[in-house]
Amino acid sequence: MEIGILSTSGGKQLATLTVDPNSTLKELKTQIHRLKSHLYPDRQEFRQEPRGKGLDENKTVAALGLKDHSKLYLKDLGPQIAWKTVFLTEYAGPLFVYAWIYQRPWLFYGEGASNQPMSQVAHIAACCWVIHYAKRILETLFVHRFSHATMPVRNLFRNCAYYWIFSAYVAYHVNHPLYTAPCQMQSYIALGFWTICELGNFSIHWALRNLRPPGSKERRIPRPTKDPLTLLFNLVSCPNYTYEVGGWVAFTIMTQCLPAGLFAFAGFYQMAVWAIGKHRAYKKDFKDYPRGRKAIIPFVF
Amino acid sequence: MTATKKAPSRVLSLPARIYLIFYNAIQFLGWSFLLYKMVDFVINQGLGGKSLWEHVEVPLLIFQSGAILEVVHCACGITPSNTVITFAQVYSRVFLIWPILYNVPDARDQIGFSLLLLAWTVTEVLRYLYYVLNLISFVPGILLWCRYTFFIILYPAGVTGELLCCYRALPHYNKTQEFSVLLPNAWNFTFNFYYYTILVMLAYIPVFPQLYTHMFVQRKKILGNKKHD
């Protein structure tokens, strides 16, 4: 049978493909790639309507109800880059930028700044920061399972700018020769809380990994596991974000640094948006989704 | 976008319409007065910096500051424009007139301020007149043409003037650290108005091309159609 492929922008005919009913959309993407070399499969998204939802590439032509002379729309998602690549670049920046500014380079502080005394909390903060981003890099390499292989290239520049610039902003203040540490008790308690949040965040990532069988893109309702830190699933849909926000609030209190607080707030805002989206998707996809669960802040929202 | 935002002349309530005619008319008169004062100065004294500023200072501060209301108009939905974009535009104007021009006499550069004032007065006179007449659905073609053509020169001229004035204000903020928060302090926070001004100037690099090309797109859409009538 023949399927007409139309562009989502302008609706013009891009190609006519000869397929059999059991062909998956994935195979169609390979065919199109052969016809148009710049459109590698990750860059293609099929839709049944120009502005409709993207179709699962594992579905067959027959399963979608397509017949001879049916039409499918193709969206060009633009140049793609692997998610892993994006994350590694995003997270490497904060690691190196903070470590560099921690050494008090003359570029930021003038000559002789590195000889001046540094508070204990500033050393601890540097460790926390590096551990946090090293953890993120390791999780990206070994823990996370991604539902999409790629994302648009322009995201790389935008995301990196955000992480790298904010890292420099926070690092500049905490490592400054004129930085004033809060009382030790406050810093130690906050450090304890930070540690729990980092462990909690990792526990959730680990639980989410095991929720999804290897190589699968299946979605299931996340629930607490044997790890007590995962009990937060009973209260929120995205406890990984909850722990992440908690960690940054702890870092802010530990250093009593308003720039760190601004960073925590910016992260919280973005994660809240994502959490609300995920929460809604869960409720829509699962009829038996536990009520009483909030998106990111227990009992609140 | 909602229907209200696309066709305000159809869905705007009477009190809102009267208010907007009133607001835009006052701005039109104010900026016409400023245009007159500028022309009057230039004819008698040539291009000026500090003395031109003194000649127009009070009405300029009043009428340009009044534009803050336009952000409120967007937020309330009585004008169709995007609130964030309007905020950015009004912010850049208010930033120029208060912390730069009003606060730093050295910023009143002869070339910079003349360019800025020329661009702003002509643009605003056209813009506010257009809005008033649009609210009573009576926009003459010549006005429409002026509004969507003059910007081609005025927009870059105005931006050049603005950047020049900002640049001239930098030494003052670097030296005096006015409006800045320094270390040490309990919250380990800093704010450096000198670097902030540089940041604002750098922001023109991505923003100006986008707004400039947007105007060209609008021009093609609005003037292109009229040609066929």
User: Confidence band (pLDDT; 50, 70, 90) for B5?
Assistant: very low
* Whether residue A176 sits in one domain with residue A150: yes
A173 contact residues in B (CB cutoff 8 A): 183, 188-190
Q: What is the CATH number of the domain that holds A48?
A: 3.10.20.90
For the question of residue B162 being annotated catalytic, the response is yes
A174 contact residues in B (CB cutoff 8 A): 188
* Whether residue A245 sits in one domain with residue A109: yes
Which domain, by its residues, includes A15?
A: 2-78
User: Confidence band (pLDDT; 50, 70, 90) for B7?
Assistant: very low
Please give the mean pLDDT across all residues of chain B.
92
Q: Look at residue B53 in the predicted model and tell me its pLDDT.
A: 97
Work out the average pLDDT over B28-34. Answer: 98
Q: Look at residue B186 in the predicted model and tell me its pLDDT.
A: 96
Contact A180 B186 (CB under 8 A): yes
* Residue A92 belongs to some domain of the structure: yes
* Whether residue A264 sits in one domain with residue A136: yes
**CA pair distance B95, B168, nearest whole angstrom:** 14
Q: Look at residue B2 in the predicted model and tell me its pLDDT.
A: 39
**CA pair distance A248, A22, nearest whole angstrom:** 50
* Whether residue A215 sits in one domain with residue A89: yes
Instruction: Collect all residues from B whose CB is shorter than 8 A from any CB in A.
Output: 183-190
- Of A78, A102, A129, the residue that ends a domain is A78
* Whether residue A74 sits in one domain with residue A99: no
Contact B184 A180 (CB under 8 A): yes
User: Confidence band (pLDDT; 50, 70, 90) for A196?
Assistant: very high
Q: Look at residue B105 in the predicted model and tell me its pLDDT.
A: 96
Please give the mean pLDDT across all residues of chain A.
92
Contact A246, A193 (CB under 8 A): yes
Strand A80-82 to A70-76 pairing: unpaired
pLDDT tens track for B67-113: 999 999 999 999 998 899 899 999 999 999 999 999 999 999 999 99
Q: Look at residue B229 in the predicted model and tell me its pLDDT.
A: 46
Chain B: closest CA distance from residue A232 (Å): 31
Q: Look at residue B6 in the predicted model and tell me its pLDDT.
A: 41
For the question of residue B204 being annotated catalytic, the response is no
Chain B: closest CA distance from residue A256 (Å): 6
**CA pair distance A126, A99, nearest whole angstrom:** 7
Catalytic residue, from B19, B102, B155, B204: name it: B155
* Whether residue A183 sits in one domain with residue A108: yes
- Of A78, A96, A129, the residue that ends a domain is A78
Q: Look at residue A56 in the predicted model and tell me its pLDDT.
A: 87
* Residue A290 belongs to some domain of the structure: no
* Whether residue A163 sits in one domain with residue A124: yes
Describe the crossing of helices B151-176 and B110-135 by its angle, rounded to 10 degrees.
Answer: 130
Chain B: closest CA distance from residue A131 (Å): 23
* Residue A179 belongs to some domain of the structure: yes
User: Confidence band (pLDDT; 50, 70, 90) for B225?
Assistant: low
* Residue A292 belongs to some domain of the structure: no
Q: How many domains does chain A have?
A: 2
Q: Say which DSSP state A90 is in.
A: H
* Residue A298 belongs to some domain of the structure: no
* Whether residue A252 sits in one domain with residue A231: yes
Q: Look at residue B10 in the predicted model and tell me its pLDDT.
A: 53
* Whether residue A164 sits in one domain with residue A121: yes
* Residue A295 belongs to some domain of the structure: no
* Whether residue A168 sits in one domain with residue A152: yes
Q: Please tell me the least confidently modeled range out of A207-216, A259-268, B220-229.
A: B220-229
For residue B186, the chain A residue with the least C-alpha distance is A180
What's the Rg (C-alpha) of chain A? 24
- Of A36, A61, A78, the residue that ends a domain is A78
- Probe site for chain A from B181, B182, B188, B192 (most A CB atoms < 10 A): B188
* Whether residue A195 sits in one domain with residue A63: no
* Whether residue A221 sits in one domain with residue A103: yes
